[in-house]
Chains A and B, each alone.
Chain A
């Protein structure tokens, strides 16, 4: 029952909390890209890889009381912080869900900002391109974010770090 939902609860349990819907989206996308078992489909949207299925599942989990979603009003927008609720913990006890090796990976991702993870996930989205073409493509589709060369190189280095973390 709710197998795919349970994986998201497991992710939140291991992360502790995740602040921001965008950050959550990018964490799941990057994890999936590194072969962690998430079923949600991602498409490229205006702000990078995005999954409507994931948004919906999070809303359902919130409606069911399995996760808490705290809203914080920031300048011009609302930020959501997600945590696993007691009921969610109970659900995971009943239906144990394990995603091997996910915890250190997710905790590492969670240390970064959503802006940075947006860049990392976009680089990963186009990782079939040769590096020079990849950077140029990302700069074009993310022109509004105005990522500096330094940020792009930091992101590429970060991807190598993640590879090492997963032994990929």
Chain B
């Protein structure tokens, strides 16, 4: 029997004005109730692009509006998939529950993100996906709303987000090489950063998507729209997500979290105690405390710590707040294998602590998942539905996609506090700073592309 909440509509359609999709339409009461939970509203206080705002000043958009956007893309996909009688064969047994599972998963897929997730998670060894599960299944308003459908409905939504749900078509719509999440974030991030690279024809892609057994495929005539989408992704990763200035801010964030952790472990007496981080610092964070963390609370601490007694923590926080970022040079680790140990030693000789003021960073530390064909069993490729009904893997049909497939470009960078080196130079450490500069110049020659 279908729970009545699955089909319960709002008396009046709700719409959100949205700069990317123009309008986000909400008809279902369940979706409206989820949006109004405190855990979902918290996403307004977490930026979608973390530190990208230091590079692209418009990138202030939140995970709240991205989540609404993913929901809207999913709503439109389902509107097509579930109303074309000819496509029903490819979706045997699909019910209202499947439709609602897709919508809830789309809306809630990022609900576990915390403040500055990428940097935070690395230092505190936590995972936003695990927190998503805890929010869906724990004592939360979201769990209460989902349970109105049935006791196991929160579990099913969690399985869709975790990609372990049995109906693979449902999973693929929220998580695959061409899914509702990616289609929204590319357009949205391009819009808010003010770049053109991320644009592609969403309308066209939605028109040519077809359900096909366990995943969605693209009608052959839509290949060029998908090429555009793949190239947009490629460009956005290199021009926006991996921007070296953004990464410099991320390095400083990580160093702040590391310093706080190191000081806490040493028993340092903070003037401004990191009460809200205590759970992470003691490795026993509970859900209630996790949900109190957002970017405003983290930035409050940074503001307070600018005047902290520990000079390293105060300096790092000042750098982040006032955008005094680390400089960087590219290098090739295969040519300069000894560079790390040499520089570390030279920094110590110069009296600059390399644990906090020197970082070797490679882009593999960041999300990077453009399409790449490999042996069977790796990732689900994008398939084109050919005129005869057979499927053809995208990179075999498209020369453009083939050109960017399977080629991981990497860049390795050294981030360092140049101003501190200059200070040390002024203070008389001329020889050692000269050696550091020479080593960095040599490194940069090897890294130039």
Which residues of A pack against B, CB within 8 Å? 1-2, 5, 20-22, 41, 43-47, 50, 52-53, 55-57, 59-60, 63-66, 76-80, 87, 90-91, 94-95, 114, 118, 125-126, 137, 140-141
- Is there contact, CB below 8 Å, between A114 and B377? yes
State A21–B339 Cα separation when bound (angstroms).
Answer: 31
Query: Per a CB cutoff under 8 Å, which of B162, B338, B374 touches A43?
Result: B162
Which residues of B pack against A, CB within 8 Å? 127, 129, 162-164, 166, 168, 214, 332-334, 337-341, 360, 362, 364, 367-369, 372, 374-380, 408, 410
Question: What residue in chain A is nearest B379 (Cβ atoms)?
Answer: A45
- Is there contact, CB below 8 Å, between B333 and A64? yes
Find the residue from A41, A45, A46, A47 having the highest chain B CB count within 10 A: A46
- Is there contact, CB below 8 Å, between A22 and B377? yes
State A114–B376 Cα separation when bound (angstroms).
Answer: 11
Query: Per a CB cutoff under 8 Å, which of B164, B214, B333, B341 touches A2?
Result: B333
From residue B128, how far is it (CB to closest CB) to chain A in Å?
10
- Is there contact, CB below 8 Å, between B364 and A56? yes
- Is there contact, CB below 8 Å, between B334 and A87? yes
Find the residue from B166, B341, B367, B376 having the highest chain A CB count within 10 A: B376
State A87–B337 Cα separation when bound (angstroms).
Answer: 10
Chain A residues with CB below 8 A from B379, complex form: 45-46, 50, 52
State A76–B377 Cα separation when bound (angstroms).
Answer: 12
- Is there contact, CB below 8 Å, between A90 and B166? no
From residue B247, how far is it (CB to closest CB) to chain A in Å?
16
- Is there contact, CB below 8 Å, between B166 and A141? yes
- Is there contact, CB below 8 Å, between B368 and A52? yes
What are 5 A-B contacts defined by CB distance under 8 Å?
A: A20-B375, A43-B129, A56-B408, A79-B375, A141-B166
Interface of B: prevailing SS: loop
- Is there contact, CB below 8 Å, between A21 and B378? yes
Chain A residues with CB below 8 A from B333, complex form: 1-2, 64
State A63–B364 Cα separation when bound (angstroms).
Answer: 13
- Is there contact, CB below 8 Å, between A46 and B168? yes
From residue B443, how far is it (CB to closest CB) to chain A in Å?
11
Query: Per a CB cutoff under 8 Å, which of B337, B368, B377 touches A56?
Result: B368
Find the residue from A55, A66, A79 having the highest chain B CB count within 10 A: A55
State A140–B167 Cα separation when bound (angstroms).
Answer: 10
Question: What residue in chain A is nearest B163 (Cβ atoms)?
Answer: A44
Q: A1-B340, A46-B168 are in contact. Are A64 and B368 (CB under 8 A)?
A: no
State A91–B129 Cα separation when bound (angstroms).
Answer: 34
- Is there contact, CB below 8 Å, between A1 and B375? no
Q: A1-B340, A57-B364, A94-B341 are in contact. Are A77 and B127 (CB under 8 A)?
A: no
Chain A residues with CB below 8 A from B338, complex form: 94
Find the residue from A20, A56, A90 having the highest chain B CB count within 10 A: A56
Q: A63-B408, A87-B334 are in contact. Are A44 and B164 (CB under 8 A)?
A: yes
State A60–B339 Cα separation when bound (angstroms).
Answer: 18
- Is there contact, CB below 8 Å, between B166 and A140? yes
Query: Per a CB cutoff under 8 Å, which of B163, B364, B374 touches A53?
Result: B364
- Is there contact, CB below 8 Å, between B337 and A77? no
Question: What residue in chain A is nearest B338 (Cβ atoms)?
Answer: A94
Chain B residues with CB below 8 A from A56, complex form: 364, 368, 408
Chain A residues with CB below 8 A from B380, complex form: 45-46
- Is there contact, CB below 8 Å, between A43 and B360? no
From residue A143, how far is it (CB to closest CB) to chain B in Å?
8
Q: A1-B340, A21-B375, A22-B375 are in contact. Are A141 and B334 (CB under 8 A)?
A: no
- Is there contact, CB below 8 Å, between B339 and A1? yes
State A5–B360 Cα separation when bound (angstroms).
Answer: 13
Chain B residues with CB below 8 A from A53, complex form: 364
State A77–B362 Cα separation when bound (angstroms).
Answer: 30
Chain A residues with CB below 8 A from B376, complex form: 22, 76-77
Query: Per a CB cutoff under 8 Å, which of B339, B368, B372, B377 touches A47?
Result: B377
